[in-house]
A and B are shown apart, each in its own frame.
Chain A
Amino acid sequence: MKIHLTRIQFLCHFLCLLPLIILVYNALFNQLTVNPVREIAIHTGRTAVTILLFSLACTPLNNLFGLNSFISIGRASGLYAAFYAMLHFANFIGLDYSFAWNEIWGVIQHQPSLIIGLTAFLLLIPLAVTSVQIFQKWLSKWWKRLHRLVYLSMLLAILHFFLEVRADFFIPKIYLFLYCLLMVLRIPYFSRWKFNLPRITDLNYFFNEKLF
């Protein structure tokens, strides 16, 4: 099987793998402080939320500005978000709580912030599994309905982000603002908005060109 990648797809894979490369580099070169579990939690959590928000922006970017090249990376970026959420969760149960299930369960059931985060992650699993094309055909119109769950997952993830910081709400506030903006853009009246950017066809042509 031959894999073809367009420029924008390559860029997407590179940027989405970069946080993992940085994490592995920091782990190998002792840059994760004396409390690596906390560093990993912050790094993977922020990355997951950021990439998921970006994946939600792909369709509106096409609707608004005609950036059709971004359509081709929505799915991949969504999967990367699920991957980092999985690392974040694995860090919590494995490195942080050493798979002590009783303790983990005890902590989660008394901590709404953790239930919210866990739900956000669990919602992404069926979406990741059904993201392959076979399911898309098989589920037809239900596929689209199912995948609307990503908006709920995103909202819960941002809420979780708000609750997990010390008191520095600046970044979660920005994320919530962007999320609300994306929601507004889904209202039919706004989704018909169009902005003509100069040389958009050139840009799409550049991004959609096959690298190999």
Chain B
Amino acid sequence: MKTKKIPSSQITPEEVYLSRRKFIKNLAIISAGSMLAASCNGSATPSTATTPNSINSVKDELGDPLNSYQDITGYTNYYEFAEDKSSPSRLAQGLKTFPWSLKVDGLVKNPKTYFVDDLKKLYPPEERIYRLRCVEAWSMVIPWLGFPLNKLLKDIEPTSDAKFVHFETLMDPAQYPGQGNRSYPWPYTEGLRLDEAMHDLTILSTGLYGKDLTPQNGGPIRLVVPWKYGFKSIKAIVHIELVANQPTSFWMNLWPEAYGFYANVNPEVAHPGWSQSSELRIGETKRRKTLMFNGYTDQVAALYQGMDLTINF
């Protein structure tokens, strides 16, 4: 199976990237200065993270503007914290994201446990501007920082028996109040077919808008699979396991008629409750048509050749 390369337009132009680095560097100097000044006053206030403004001129490869940092960090689905979209931004601030270890094992030759900080050094994060399409029929354009999952998988060497990748979120009801609700099959789990996991668009993200990934957005480390509904992109991962059989995910467990294993964005296959043919891009007022594979058909359609996607939804 051969998949197409990512169009160059999808990669941030170098001059924008460099100006952004320069901006961040300047920002660090300014905030260091202000911290110094603040410490003279006896009250050391931490430098408040501000959005690098140079990034706002960047669009996705289809020409649509990025969603704002405020929109992306203020409207999230994170059932471990709450079932609404606003409270996770508040409740997640206490999540202990450092140090964070990620165990990678199962059917592999080199099982390993990594600290997220070491992962960032091993696989330097690159910027990926992806559309995120929620199964609830809204979407955003998000500039992630991350590295292709295939880099990690190649290093741990899956055995020939490994066919699927299973992901698991941290299980810690003391930090995750939502995990006290026994009607959900905690911890949150997700799965990908090995070739989907190896695809170059599939990343492990550790950052957002040039900064560390905020806890409500899945920090310190999450999966991002842009051609699938957002719930596939599991947050706060502690365990990745290579397995032989198709794993069952959190949402499949809850309602298999509504949430399939593949969960590819597909305008033709409706949720039992609502149509997936259109979506609301956050920040807009009119619905827009939902694109097959969330607009990544050229890159990923080959993965599903010969499959009936209305059955394998």
Residues of chain A having any CB pair with chain B under 8 Å: 33-35, 37-38, 96-98, 100, 103, 106-107, 110-111, 113-114, 163-168, 170
Contact = CB atoms under 8 A, between A and B. Distances in A.
Contact of B275 (A33, A111, A165): A111
Nearest to B77: A166
9 contacts: A33-B74, A34-B283, A35-B85, A96-B287, A98-B285, A103-B278, A110-B270, A163-B273, A165-B273
Contacts of A103: 278, 287
Q: Which 4 pairs across A and B sit closest by C-beta, in order of nearness?
A: A167-B254, A164-B273, A163-B273, A167-B255
Contacts, number: 54
A99 to B, nearest CB: 11
A33 B183 contact: no
A107 B289 CA distance: 12
B287 A35 contact: no
Given A34-B74, A97-B287, A107-B277, 9 more contacts: A33-B74, A33-B75, A38-B280, A96-B287, A107-B275, A111-B275, A113-B274, A166-B135, A167-B255
A34 B136 contact: no
Interface string B245-288: 00000010011001100000000001011110110101101110
Nearest to B70: A34
A40 to B, nearest CB: 12
A37 B137 CA distance: 11
Given A33-B75, A34-B283, A166 B136 contact: yes
Interface residues of B, number: 28
Nearest to A170: B183
Given A34-B74, A35-B75, A167-B254, A111 B136 contact: no
A165 B136 CA distance: 10
A29 to B, nearest CB: 13
A42 to B, nearest CB: 9
B71 interface: yes
Interface of B: 71, 74-75, 83, 85-86, 135-136, 138, 183, 251, 254-255, 258-259, 270, 272-275, 277-278, 280, 282-283, 285-287
Contacts of A111: 270, 274-275
B286 A98 contact: yes
Contacts of B274: 111, 113-114, 164
Nearest to B231: A166
A73 to B, nearest CB: 31
B273 A33 contact: no
Given A113-B273, A165-B273, A166-B136, A33 B85 contact: yes
Contacts of A96: 280, 287
A34 B83 contact: no
Contacts of B282: 34-35
A81 B238 CA distance: 46
A208 B53 CA distance: 63
B66 to A, nearest CB: 14
Nearest to A163: B273
Contacts of B71: 34
B31 to A, nearest CB: 28
A38 B136 contact: yes
A107 B271 CA distance: 12
Contacts of B135: 166
A35 B75 CA distance: 8
Contact of A35 (B83, B272, B280): B280
Contact of A33 (B86, B270, B286): B86
